[in-house]
Amino acid sequence: MRLGIIGVSGAVGQQMLECLVEQDIVVDELRVFASEKSRGKKILFNNQEYTIQVADESSFDGLDYVLGAVSNELSKKYWPWIKKSGAIYIDNSSAFRGDKDVPLVVPEINGEDALDNHGLIANPNCSTIITLMAIAPLLKLGDFNSMIATTFQAVSGAGNKGIEELNNELNNCNYQPKVFPYTIASNVISEIGSYLDNDYTSEEMKMMNEGRKILHHPDLRVSCTCVRVPVMRSHSISVRVVMDRIVDLDEGKRVINDFDGVEYRDELVTPLDASNQDIVYVSRLRRDLTNPNGLLLWCCGDQIRKGAASNAVGILKYLLDCKHN
Ligand SMILES: NC(=O)c1ccc[n+]([C@@H]2O[C@H](COP(=O)([O-])OP(=O)(O)OC[C@H]3O[C@@H](n4cnc5c(N)ncnc54)[C@H](OP(=O)(O)O)[C@@H]3O)[C@@H](O)[C@H]2O)c1
């Protein structure tokens, strides 16, 4: 299996290397790419050293799969070169998520969609993955048509530069923010992404647009508020879903806990509990006091792992398993 990784030096790219080992993916040939800044630097994978290259038009030739962990603009730049090579591209950016012929996949929820690809598969938004992992199990007990979600997003959601910014602000109270629109240390910022005509942000609309596609639920309505919080790693989401019937809370906890990749906890979970591992933790399932069909829950997940790297590697694993079985 010949694999390329673009953006290997970033938060998601570095995590992908670990996830490949953890998910027992056998890689026969690996090519790693990043920017000019990283050209020539060495990375370790499976105790072997690899040199970071800057990709050109023929860099992907002969590869079977490429994992992408770069910006939308770069992903759009590299995709024609990957397409020409015939490799299957699994992209972490949001550049292609809305395209009709691009599957948007969380393996535990809609893994089979990955098989219907035209060479490009998109990894969903990090908060969307974590939220859907928490609520998809409830579909075993009934349907839901609407959801309200408030996210509490870690600074590493903006990559390594987000972590640097919080550290800089913690160490120097005069530090001027460069990555986030306001100071994030000792603060919260309810603005992630750019504002759209409906006064929601681009990040907030991903929950509905991507949720509809992943759950195959074109009528799902979602109102979302995305908030950046001074947490280094792991996103948390407060979610309300309105079911089409009254769901027994113990039944709800059971189906959530039984879902692959999710664990229900009777005690409170925090982003620290969720960090550095792939499980999405759910706690505080309770009845909505404004509607008996409504359920509220709290979930936390490591967004660099389940929200990005391990989900993308999980898609690759799904494709490889299907090929070999
Ligand atoms: N961080 C998260 O939690 C998260 C979650 C879900 C999705 N994502 C998405 O995943 C992607 C990567 O995010 P990240 O957080 O890993 O960002 P990051 O830490 O800022 O890393 C960005 C990567 O892009 C590389 N890069 C920059 N310019 C390049 C160029 N001209 N050619 C090739 N590579 C270049 C960087 O290489 P150098 O180090 O050489 O500059 C680095 O490896 C983004 O689309 C992001 O939206 C991130």
pLDDT tens string 189-220 = 999 999 999 999 999 999 999 999 999 999 99
Q: Give pLDDT, residue 87.
A: 98
| 313 Cβ contact list (under 8 Å, min separation 6) | 16, 19, 20, 23, 25, 67
| 104 Cβ contact list (under 8 Å, min separation 6) | 97, 113, 121, 122, 123, 124, 210, 213, 214
CA distance 210 to 218: 10
Average of per-residue pLDDT across 258-282: 98
**Count of beta carbons in the 10 Å neighbourhood of residue 163:** 18
Report whether 315 contacts 90 (CB < 8 A): yes
Q: Give pLDDT, residue 247.
A: 97
C-alpha separations of 303 from 88, 90, 202, 235 in Å: 23, 17, 18, 6
Q: What percent of the chain has pLDDT over 90?
A: 99
Ligand 1 centre from 155 Cα, in Å? 14
Q: Give pLDDT, residue 103.
A: 98
Q: Which atom of ligand 1 lies at the shortest distance from residue 7's CA?
A: 43
Ligand 1 pocket member 310 (CB < 6 A)? no
To test ligand 1's pocket by mutation, which of 5, 35, 105 has the most ligand atoms within 8 angstroms of CB?
35
Which residues have a catalytic role annotated?
A: 126, 235
Question: Tokens 């090579």 map to which residue?
Answer: 85
What residue's CA is closest to ligand 1, atom 45? 93
Q: Give pLDDT, residue 180.
A: 98
- pLDDT tier for residue 266 given thresholds of 50, 70 and 90: very high
Q: Give pLDDT, residue 296.
A: 98
For 274-294, what is each residue's pLDDT tens digit?
999 999 999 999 999 999 999
Please provide the average confidence, as pLDDT, over all residues in the chain. Answer: 97
Question: Tokens 């550290």 map to which residue?
Answer: 167
pTM of the model: 0.97
Q: Give pLDDT, residue 140.
A: 97
pLDDT at 324 over 90: no
Tokens of 53: 């290259």
What residue's CA is closest to ligand 1, atom 15? 159
Give long-range contacts, CB 8 A cutoff, 24+ apart: 96-103.
Answer: 96/120, 96/122, 97/122, 97/124, 97/125, 97/206, 97/209, 97/210, 97/213, 98/209, 98/213
CA distance 223 to 207: 8
For 67-111, what is each residue's pLDDT tens digit?
999 999 999 999 999 999 999 999 999 999 999 999 999 999 999
For 226-242, what is each residue's pLDDT tens digit?
999 999 999 999 999 99
DSSP string spanning 187-247? --B---S-B-TTS-BHHHHHHHHHHHHHHT-TT-EEEEEEEE-S-SS-EEEEEEEEESSPP
Ligand 1 pocket member 217 (CB < 6 A)? no
CA distance 55 to 214: 31
- pLDDT tier for residue 325 given thresholds of 50, 70 and 90: confident
Ligand 1 centre from 71 Cα, in Å? 6
Average of per-residue pLDDT across 261-281: 98
Q: What percent of the chain has pLDDT over 70?
A: 100
Report whether 293 contacts 246 (CB < 8 A): yes
Ligand 1 centre from 169 Cα, in Å? 22
Ligand 1 pocket member 234 (CB < 6 A)? no
Pairing status of strand 235-243 against strand 144-153: antiparallel
